[in-house]
Amino acid sequence: MISARDFPRLAALARRAREFLGCELPFLGGAMTWVSEANLVSAISNAGGFGVLACGAMDPERLAAEIRRTRARTDRPFGVNLIVMHPRLDELVEACIAEGVGHVVLAGGLPPRPAVEILKRHGVKVMAFAPSLVLARRMVRQGIDALVIEGSEAGGHIGPVSTSVLAQEILPHLREVPVFVAGGIGRGEMIAAYMAMGAAGVQMGTRFVCAEESIVHPRTKQAYIRASARDAQPSVQVDPDFPVVPVRALVNEATRDFVRFQLETIARHRAGELSADEAKLAIEHYWAGALRRAVIEGDVERGSLMAGQSVGMVTKIEPVEAILATLAEETERALSARAGGLVEGVGAR
């Protein structure tokens, strides 16, 4: 495991995150469905970071089993990411409590007050995603223990605002709880910059897709390694009456065909073949199973290759510990190049 003692400037700035998470490095693994399972999550935690298990569409029984699988592989802290729109959210919360999970990340929307209250009542630390300063402050008043601000450079479902703008909007004005920055982060120099602005740490997902411990199919890993930042594009919506939640992924046959499919489906609606609801449902279901096809089956053309724009910095398959060591070394070097007063001044908050 990487020790914070080897990176004194990073450790000083990361004190708040390390105390909150219980790990050596202020680096969270982004929760990626099918990817952030027991093997990768435990590897991140064992190496000194903080792994986060992606519940995704799991039912409570499978989530409990995955938590146990993860705990069998690590005695270090890790968290669980729950999607607030999951129809069995209450049961998933209960599963986390029953399995003794210490940290839960509520994602995909505003955290429901009942879920927050029951988690906190059982001593679970609750994290959530804040898309703006106004909502961040509301979540803090609601009792959220830490926040993640994720910009549009991230992979998967994205919002409209870039990471750098969100950081400027939120970090200088929100000091009550630890705030982690996510989206497009692939090098330590950027980590140092955000932490100097007041971030407690960072969250990264794409950076770990090609880790040795990742179960992602070898063909899919090679697609990520070959990709550049410009290959990670948000999905296109062709008609405002048929909304598409933007998802950033590597462009492939499926993403190009999605535009044609929308046009054909909308044309069928206008010809009276489909109702508006049927057309919307067809468009929504286009990607059903596509993530699994890419991650597990290695279908790099018809699968969904969700990736952030930092994918251009993923250049080889390597162990998680090597990835974290490189990031920590880059961050420490960048912090050392800054004025000492800046580092100590921020770290002392």
pLDDT tens per residue across all 349 residues of the chain? 999 999 999 999 999 999 999 999 999 999 999 999 999 999 999 999 999 999 999 999 999 999 999 999 999 999 999 999 999 999 999 999 999 999 999 999 999 999 999 999 999 999 999 999 999 999 999 999 999 999 999 999 999 999 999 999 999 999 999 999 999 999 999 999 999 999 999 999 999 999 999 999 999 999 999 999 999 999 999 999 999 999 999 999 999 999 999 999 999 999 999 999 999 999 999 999 999 999 999 999 999 999 999 999 999 999 999 999 999 999 999 999 984 544 444 443 3
Q: Is 336 exposed, middle or buried (0-12, 13-18, 19+ CB in 10 A)?
A: middle
**Rounded CA separation 42/66 (Å):** 11
The three-state secondary structure class of 240 is coil
**Rounded CA separation 126/111 (Å):** 9
**Rounded CA separation 119/126 (Å):** 7
Pairing of strands 27-29, 51-54: unpaired
Return the closest-CA partner of residue 205 out of 35, 60, 6.
35
For 236, which DSSP code? P
Output phi, psi for 127, to 5 deg: -115, 155
**Rounded CA separation 307/34 (Å):** 13
CA 109, 148, 73, 115 torsion: positive or negative? Answer: negative
CATH architecture of the domain formed by 4-215+313-347: Alpha-Beta Barrel (3.20)
Give ∠ CA 295-299-305 in degrees, rounded to 5. 55
Residues carrying CATH 3.20.20.70, the chain: 4-215+313-347
With tokens 């000194």, the residue in question is 48
pLDDT of residue 340: 55
pLDDT of residue 344: 46
Which residues neighbour 99 within 8 Å (Cβ) at sequence distance 6 or greater?
64, 67, 68, 71
Give ∠ CA 320-41-211 in degrees, rounded to 5. 30
Question: CA of 290: how far to CAs of 69, 98, 284, in Å?
Answer: 25, 32, 12
Pairing of strands 232-234, 247-250: antiparallel
